[in-house]
Amino acid sequence: MRPRYRRPREIPTVEQLTAELDREIYRSRYRRELRSTVYALVVVAAVEARSAVAVAAEAHSAAVATTAVAVMVRLAAEDELSEE
């Protein structure tokens, strides 16, 4: 069962209110900076991933082209051998 009376609340002093306001301002600024940093890191990671995909695609294209040239050389050599 609850007591029938309530203790009166203490009213904070101006210094306490100022300190709490400063803490809230710092907290807000800290979160904003942290969020901004995370967003920048995500963008950098996305750009790096995109460039890695582009490099991989170029390497794949080069490998395919090299393989195609090797196959054409082999076929040409086989044709020359079969003609003799």
Q: How far apart are the first and last CA of the chain?
A: 110
Q: Where are the alpha helices (DSSP H) in 1-84?
A: 14-83
For the cut 90, the answer to whether the pLDDT of residue 8 exceeds it is no
What pLDDT, on the 0 to 100 scale, is given for residue 30? 96
Given CA atoms 44, 49, 54, 59 in this order, what sign does their dihedral have?
positive
Reported confidence tier of residue 83, pLDDT bands at 50, 70, 90: low
What confidence category does residue 74 fall into, taking pLDDT thresholds of 50, 70 and 90? confident
Q: Whole-prediction pTM value?
A: 0.51
